[in-house]
Amino acid sequence: GDVAPARVRGGNKPHAVVVALPLQGHIIPVVHLALRLAARGFAVTFVSTEAVHDQTARALGVDPAGYDVFAAARRRRRAPAGGEEEAPPPLGIRRVEFLGALLHALSAHVERLLRRVVVDPASTFLVADTFFVWPATLARRLGVAYVSFWTEPALVFNLYYHMDLLTQNGHFRCSEPRKDSITYIPGVASIEPSELMSYLQETDTTSVVHRIIFKAFDEARGADYVLCNTVEELEPSTVAALRGEKPFYAVGPIFPAGFARSAVATSMWAESDCSRWLADQPPASVLYISFGSYAHVTRRELHEIAGGVLASGARFLWVMRPDVVSSDDPDPLPEGFAAAAEGRGIVVPWCCQVEVLSHAAVGAFLTHCGWNSVLESVWAGVPMLCFPLLTDQITNRRLVAREWRAGVSIGERGAVRADEVAALIRGVMGGEEGVRIREQVRKLKGTLEAAVAPGGSSRRNFDEFVDELKRRCG
Ligand code: UDP
């Protein structure tokens, strides 16, 4: 749409042009980052696609044409879970090929927009998701600074950043990659090839996703600053190593303290209201299950997990995106599941996850280990059962289960099985293992809270970043 020049809208404030990657797991943190920048005195132009804009409006049941994101967030509408007015099913996520095309196509649009809104390049900076394939080039062409925003852990950034080392050492981009431990990445004492992001474990590296990653990290090398949604104390050696490479700021968790409701609507799908059902459940008795917004599971995996959930005897709240197996298979749960689970659990298409996680009735989270989900679970003090499916989720699981001992792994030693799932659920929700893990999560929660409190590392890092940008932008 039409954009007034920053000087008109923001007076003499330094101007941040923030460009969001059109995926749910990226929209949520980047909106909160933009709000934080605005709160610190920057004029912010937020750039998103019309598809995302319209989808967030539809999720709230408002007309996309007259949609005001701030007003809409205030009058959030919910469909009661399990009630007659069930939320409409989420739309399927676009295929990755489309995403690839979009990433390239956006470049021309963003350049046109930047040329309109950049009045004074010296006082403007571009904040773009690291996965975009053009920000450093574009920023250079326009004479503005590029702030790369990384929504995944520092460890994952670090591994992508050092893909050349992985290649030179025969762990990546060869027909038969080495299987021994990787011990040469700065800041990472040792990591197994099986813990790398799924894309770095693939031998065919000619896919669209690989082309995006290679180009995006070329661009990340050209970034003036990197902001990362992590906490220094969660990944100390990696963050220290990356600081040696770039002005790298760990400023997470980005969500507002206490999960305060955002001033802007960020959900791309209508949220079912689970609060009434949760209110009737005993404390820490409910297993929350979600595979996030993007990943798919196979029908077989889903059936094993469903069998495990039933056999565990636990109560559950399961977010089942209608496309979680595939768009052609909207009802993939095993026959008889609903009857067997009667009175013990509910299945919803989408919910307000942070509200669910922070409810006293929730005792564990069976998660695909998306980074937002991991941070939210820790913040809510909820132990995790890790079932990663692709991309960074596999590496995130290493942090959760192996480094922090804040969760257990499902199916790490082969295909997932119902009896394994049932035993792990029982162990985490009831057994001694659960007590130990809960204690670890409690400590990590304290670490996150301290990081964003006055004097904490993320607070300090964000202050330093803001001071640096204000100095640079005059
Ligand atoms: N989410 C939500 N409702 C749901 C499922 C997920 O609000 O029913 C949110 C969740 O709180 C998180 C985001 O969607 O902030 C998913 O991001 P994540 O990085 O965990 O996974 P992705 O979807 O990117 O794989």
Kindly provide the ipTM of the predicted complex, given to two decimals.
1.00
The predicted-structure confidence for 298-335, as pLDDT tens digits, reads as follows 999 999 999 999 999 999 999 999 889 988 887 899 99
Strands, sheet with 407-409, edge to edge from the N-terminal-most edge strand: 345-348, 315-319, 286-290, 362-367, 384-386, 407-409
The predicted-structure confidence for 384-404, as pLDDT tens digits, reads as follows 999 999 999 999 999 999 999
Per-residue model confidence (pLDDT) at position 328: 84
More confident: 8 or 272: 272
Residue 229's Cβ-count burial label (10 Å; 0-12, 13-18, 19+) is buried
For ligand 1, mutation pick of 23, 60, 293 (most atoms within 8 Å of CB): 293
CA dist 43 and 119 (Å) reads: 12
Per-residue model confidence (pLDDT) at position 3: 47
Ligand 1: residues within 6 Å at CB? 24-25, 28, 267, 290, 292-295, 319, 350-354, 370-373, 376
Residue 432 CB partners (closer than 8 Å, separation 6+): none
Contact (Cβ atoms closer than 8 angstroms) between residue 92 and residue 349: no
What pTM was computed for the model? 0.94
Q: What is the dihedral sign for C-alpha 397, 400, 401, 406? A: negative
Per-residue model confidence (pLDDT) at position 69: 66
For ligand 1, mutation pick of 27, 350, 372 (most atoms within 8 Å of CB): 372
Per-residue model confidence (pLDDT) at position 95: 60
Ligand 1, atom 6, residue with closest C-alpha: 292
For ligand 1, mutation pick of 373, 374, 394, 396 (most atoms within 8 Å of CB): 373
Detail the DSSP E strand segments found in 398-468: 407-409
Contact (Cβ atoms closer than 8 angstroms) between residue 272 and residue 78: yes
Looking from the CA of residue 350, the nearest atom of ligand 1 is: 8
**263 band by pLDDT with thresholds 50, 70 and 90:** confident
Of 81-95, 124-138, 223-237, the poorest mean pLDDT is in 81-95
CA dist 309 and 345 (Å) reads: 10
Mean pLDDT (the chain, rounded): 90
